[in-house]
């Protein structure tokens, strides 16, 4: 006797299939299918899923083989001295602090401009650690508060840097050209272009 649901062979007189639990009717062996359909064991994926899984494994293996051939081919070209076309990403020659990178990425939010004289511009260009002093400032443009971002322009109008200013615009205008004061923009908060 065969189960009509899963096709498993059952002893005669069984009321329920021991494989799938279906009710066994009064089916005779002649009414059973000639070839029972293969069914997976309990907890196993269906046959199609197994084929897909095998296909996935095959794709991964093929991909790894292709990658290995490409790497080996590149190594062979490097050993033979042939030039290989590629894209190379090299690190920046110097790294900026997190604050300076934030200032550089926020340049569009600058609320004012400090114009500096030629001496201050030369000092900023020549040194990595130059602060903007009030004595070197020739003009202050825009209205800004303390800790806002400002652009630093040379006498010819080219942008030299972006920095976080340590005072508001009124105080900066009042201190233009004065010596002995704290820097308007400290070098720790100055990103050079």
Q: What percent of the chain has pLDDT over 90?
A: 29
Average per-residue pLDDT for the chain = 78
pLDDT tens profile 104-140: 777 788 889 999 999 999 988 887 778 999 999 999 9
Q: In the Cβ-directed half-sphere of 5, how many Cα atoms lie within 13 Å?
A: 10
Grade residue 50 by pLDDT with cuts at 50, 70 and 90: very low
Query: Is residue 134 a contact partner of residue 175, using CB atoms and an 8 Å limit?
Result: yes
Query: Higher-confidence residue: 14 or 153?
Result: 153
Give the Cα separation of 108 and 96 in Å (integer): 19
């Amino acid at each position: 006797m065969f189960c009509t649901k899963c096709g498993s062979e059952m002893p005669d007189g069984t009321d329920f299939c021991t494989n799938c639990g279906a009710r066994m009717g009064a089916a005779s062996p002649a009414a059973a299918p000639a070839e029972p359909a293969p069914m997976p064991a309990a907890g196993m994926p269906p046959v199609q899923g197994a084929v897909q899984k095998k296909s996935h494994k095959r794709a991964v293996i093929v991909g790894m083989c292709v990658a290995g051939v490409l790497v080996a081919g590149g190594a062979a070209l490097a050993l033979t001295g042939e030039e290989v076309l590629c894209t190379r990403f090299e690190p920046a020659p110097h790294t900026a602090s997190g604050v300076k990178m934030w200032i550089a990425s926020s340049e569009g939010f600058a609320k004012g401009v400090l114009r500096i004289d030629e001496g201050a511009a030369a000092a900023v260009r020549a040194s990595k650690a130059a602060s903007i002093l009030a004595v070197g400032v020739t003009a202050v443009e825009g209205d800004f508060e303390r800790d806002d971002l400002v652009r630093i322009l040379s006498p010819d109008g080219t942008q030299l840097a972006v920095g976080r200013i340590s005072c508001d615009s009124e105080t900066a205008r009042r201190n233009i050209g004065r010596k002995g004061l704290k820097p308007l923009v400290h070098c720790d908060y100055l990103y050079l272009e």
